[in-house]
Amino acid sequence: MTYLDHAATTPMLPAAREAWLEASAQVGNASALHGAGRRARAIVEEARERLALALGAHPTEVIWTSGGTEADNLALKGLYWARRDHDAALTRVVTSAIEHHAGLDPVRWLAAHEGADAVEVGVDAAGVVDVAGVAAALADAPTALVSVMWANNEVGTVQPVAEVVAAAARHGVPVHSDAIQAVGHLPLHFADSGLATLALSAHKVGGPVGVGALLVRRDARLTPVVHGGGQERSVRSGTLDPAGAIAAAVAVEEAVAAMEGEAARLRALQADLEARIGSAVDRVTVSGPPPGPGRLPGIVHLVAPGAAGEAMLYVLDSHGVEVSNGSACVAGVVQASHVVAAMGRSDADAASTLRISMGATTTADDLDALMAVLPDAVARARRVANR
């Protein structure tokens, strides 16, 4: 099999797996006061410290979650409720039109059920959010929060988060960023970012599925989404997972330590693949900014007009080549890409996409396997569409 869907999930790193196995052999609830509980708590706190150090945060700013979706929901709903309850006029939520559904859907839910005034700011043809549009939305109405992802999960566009934070700071508005695709792939320092909250997920960087974290600045106030035992600063209740936490911390540490060299390696593969696609496949365009600091190093997102994404996936998968159309978090259903549509492409183009995402295990042989099948997959998908 040729696995080229690392933006969806990554193979566990050996060091993360070993850390998980060692910690999972220990018994004890990290909230218990006996010896086993204290030993479990020690694992959790070691993981918290190591994750914080890798990402430029203070250990008290790390809130463990079940993954990126929970982290986004906790940030968006928690910040909104806390700000609105302090000042009822603060109902506007500003976000971008190309957020992951874990960021878009909570905002839309707040608009439908909690009276939020949701503004989805547009992007340019490369998928870069309109910072002037964010500033205009902030100036137009009292705003509870702004949320802009650090890097897009489908096309790989890196967003001008620092500019968004600066625009929001002029109005005293906190900013959340979904950094799930950025952590371990781009330079990131939470303390220097100016963000109020930042979401991450372990399985995007070689950690286990079902573990994530929300970095929460110490002066930020969030209303809990889940109520119970009051764990995690009374912001996120629930029994802690020591094995998951330490494996997540180890995976992030390793990804951050290897980031510079790995980014250079992936950018070389990225450039090679794009050149080969350009010469071998007719009428296919690469989405997003050109390769470089404006795009994640591992993603090549294609639009193949006239070729249904689902048909291309079927052909590639039948030859053992595993890619995706975009986000894997839409209940396993192939849908037209809201990201591509927001970038100004037609509905037909938005349904004719492939996302090739590379990672630590990707080699030149994987690209050879892809290119042995991709031209035929596009051609066959177009023939099916024209019947």
- 16's CB contacts (< 8 A; 6+ apart) are 202, 206, 207, 208, 247, 248, 250, 251, 254
Computed over every residue of the chain, the mean pLDDT equals 96
- Whole-number pLDDT of residue 330: 54
- Whole-number pLDDT of residue 245: 98
- Whole-number pLDDT of residue 384: 83
In the predicted model, what is the mean pLDDT of residues 286-296? 95
Residue 329 has pLDDT above 60, yes or no: no
pTM: 0.96
The H or E element spanning position 64 is strand 62-65
Q: Does 215 share its domain with 271?
A: no
- Whole-number pLDDT of residue 335: 74
- Whole-number pLDDT of residue 328: 54
Residue 333 has pLDDT above 70, yes or no: no
Q: Does 230 share its domain with 302?
A: no
Domain boundary among 219, 237, 253: 253
Q: Does 207 share its domain with 239?
A: yes
Domain boundary among 253, 270, 303: 253
In the predicted model, what is the mean pLDDT of residues 4-9? 98
Q: Does 119 share its domain with 230?
A: yes
Residue 334 has pLDDT above 70, yes or no: no
The pLDDT tens digits of the residues spanning 191-225 come to 999 999 999 999 999 999 999 999 999 999 999 99
In the predicted model, what is the mean pLDDT of residues 363-372? 98
Share of the chain above pLDDT 70, in %: 98
CA dihedral over 160, 162, 165, 169, signed as positive or negative: negative
In the predicted model, what is the mean pLDDT of residues 78-102? 97
CA 199-205-206 angle, to 5 degrees, is 135
- Whole-number pLDDT of residue 87: 97
Phi, psi angles (nearest 5°) of residue 5: -135, 45
Q: Does 50 share its domain with 170?
A: yes
Confidence grade of residue 331 (pLDDT, cut at 50, 70, 90): very low
The pLDDT tens digits of the residues spanning 114-146 come to 999 999 999 999 999 999 999 999 999 999 999
CATH number for position 188: 3.40.640.10
Confidence grade of residue 78 (pLDDT, cut at 50, 70, 90): very high
The number of beta carbons lying within 10 Å of the beta carbon of residue 187 is 12
Q: Does 214 share its domain with 103?
A: yes
Read off the tokens for 87: 């000042």
Residue 204 appears among annotated catalytic residues: no
Long-range contacts, 116-121 (Cβ 8 Å, 24+): 116/80, 116/91, 116/92, 116/144, 117/91, 117/92, 117/93, 117/141, 118/92, 118/93, 119/92, 119/93, 119/94, 119/95, 120/95, 120/96, 121/94, 121/95, 121/96, 121/97
Residue 118: burial class (beta carbons within 10 Å; 0-12, 13-18, 19+): middle
The pLDDT tens digits of the residues spanning 239-255 come to 999 999 999 999 999 99
- Whole-number pLDDT of residue 53: 98
Read off the tokens for 292: 């470089």
Q: Tokens 């090549």 correspond to what residue?
A: 300
CA distances from 185 to 148, 206, 253 (A): 17, 12, 12
Read off the tokens for 367: 């690209």
- Whole-number pLDDT of residue 112: 98
Confidence grade of residue 326 (pLDDT, cut at 50, 70, 90): confident
Residue 350 lies in domain: 2-9+259-385
Q: Does 296 share its domain with 212?
A: no
Q: CA-to-CA distance for 198 and 216, rounded, in angstroms?
A: 7
Among 218, 195, 219, 73, CA closest to 146: 195
Q: Which of 36, 226, 329, 341 is catalytic?
A: 329
Q: Does 233 share its domain with 280?
A: no
Residue 8 has pLDDT above 90, yes or no: yes
Q: Tokens 């294609």 correspond to what residue?
A: 302
Residue 176 exposure: Cα atoms within 13 Å on the Cβ side: 35
Domain boundary among 188, 218, 253: 253
Q: Does 93 share its domain with 219?
A: yes
Q: CA-to-CA distance for 374 and 372, rounded, in angstroms?
A: 6
